[in-house]
C-alpha cells in the first residue's frame, strides 16, 4: 500500500479487471481503486444504462435494428464523484436503476450487439486515456484496453458465484430462488462467451485469481502486490 501510494503520481496505470458475474469484480475494483486513489470505471454500468434506456423506450433488446436505431437518439455519459462513476442517460441520473434482474437480462442481450459495443467503446477509452483508472468489465484487457499496464481475470466456482449474486439481489429487495439465479448466470455465461464481438475470454497476459475462497481484501492484496511491481 505504501509503495503504491507513494508512486501513484509517477505512473498513472490502467488496471483491467475481467471475469463473469458473481466473481466479485465490482467490489474488488471499487476497493482497489479506492486504495490507489484511481477512478473506478464500471463498464458494465454503461451497458446496463443502455439496456435501461432500451426498456424505457419500449424497445425489444433482441431487436438489433431497433436498438441500433435508438442509439442515435440517446445521450449517455459518466461523471465521477470521489472516484466513483455516476451514469446519466439523456441528463437523468440512472445509477440507482441499473441493478434489477430485468436490466441485467437486457444488458446481457444488448451487449452482444456489435453496434452497441462500438457505440460505447469511445466513451470507455476516453475515460481511461489519462490512466489512473481501474476498469472492470468483460473485455477490458482484450478489447477496450488491450495495452493496459496490468490485467486480471477473476473466476470462481459456479455455485459460489450463484450464491453471491443471489445475496446481492436479496439485499437489493428482489425476490427469486437461488436456482433461478444460477440458471440466469449460466445463460449469461453462454451468451457472453459465445458472442462474436468481444467475447468473455481472458487476455493472454492476464493474471488469474480464483476468488472462491478468498475475501475481498485478500483478492485486493494479491492485486496490489502485482501492481506494486509496475510502479
Show me where the domains of the chain are located: 2-228
pLDDT at 115: 96
What grid cell was written down for 212?
Answer: 472462491
Output the pTM of the full model.
0.88
pLDDT at 132: 94
**Across residues 89-98, what is the average pLDDT?**
94
- Chain segment 106-120, per-residue pLDDT in tens: 998 999 899 999 999
Bridge-partner residues for 133, per DSSP? 14, 39
Bridge-partner residues for 84, per DSSP? 40, 81
pLDDT at 10: 59
Confidence of residue 1 (pLDDT cuts 50, 70, 90): very low
Report the mean per-residue pLDDT for the chain.
91
- Pairing type for strands 14-18 and 133-137 reads parallel
- Chain segment 39-57, per-residue pLDDT in tens: 999 999 999 999 999 999 9
pLDDT at 95: 93
Span 2-228 CATH architecture: 3-Layer(aba) Sandwich (3.40)
Q: Which residue has the cell 475481498?
A: 216
Is the per-residue pLDDT at 142 higher than 70?
yes
CA atoms of 151 and 142, how far apart (whole Å): 9
Instruction: Indicate the range of 29-33, 182-186, 204-208, 225-229 predicted with least confidence.
Output: 182-186
CA atoms of 51 and 60, how far apart (whole Å): 10
- Chain segment 164-220, per-residue pLDDT in tens: 988 888 887 877 899 998 998 888 888 888 888 888 899 999 999 999 999 999 999
- Going by the DSSP 8-state scheme, the letter that residue 142 receives in this structure is I
What percent of the chain is modeled with pLDDT above 70? 95
Amino acid at each position: 500500500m505504501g509503495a503504491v501510494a507513494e508512486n501513484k503520481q509517477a505512473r498513472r496505470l490502467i488496471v483491467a479487471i475481467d471475469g463473469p458475474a458473481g466473481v466479485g469484480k465490482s467490489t474488488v475494483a471499487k476497493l482497489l481503486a479506492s486504495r490507489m486513489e484511481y477512478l473506478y470505471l464500471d463498464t458494465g454500468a454503461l451497458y446496463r444504462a443502455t439496456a435501461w434506456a432500451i426498456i424505457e423506450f419500449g424497445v425489444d433488446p433482441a431487436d438489433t435494428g431497433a436498438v441500433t436505431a435508438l442509439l442515435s437518439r440517446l445521450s449517455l455519459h459518466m461523471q465521477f464523484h470521489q472516484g466513483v462513476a455516476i451514469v446519466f442517460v439523456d441528463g437523468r441520473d440512472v445509477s440507482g436503476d441499473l441493478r434489477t434482474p430485468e436490466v441485467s437480462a437486457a444488458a446481457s442481450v444488448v451487449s452482444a450487439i456489435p453496434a452497441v459495443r462500438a457505440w460505447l467503446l469511445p466513451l470507455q477509452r476516453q475515460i481511461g486515456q489519462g490512466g489512473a483508472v481501474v476498469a472492470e468489465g468483460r473485455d477490458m484487457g482484450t478489447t477496450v484496453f488491450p495495452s493496459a499496464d496490468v490485467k486480471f481475470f477473476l473466476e470462481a466456482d459456479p455455485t459460489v458465484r450463484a450464491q453471491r449474486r443471489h445475496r446481492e439481489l436479496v439485499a437489493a429487495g428482489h425476490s427469486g430462488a437461488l436456482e433461478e439465479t444460477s440458471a440466469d448466470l449460466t445463460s449469461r455465461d453462454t451468451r457472453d462467451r459465445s458472442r462474436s464481438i468481444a467475447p468473455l475470454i481472458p487476455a493472454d497476459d492476464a493474471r488469474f485469481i480464483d476468488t472462491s475462497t478468498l475475501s475481498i481484501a485478500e483478492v485486493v492484496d494479491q492485486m496490489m502486490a502485482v501492481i506494486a511491481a509496475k510502479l
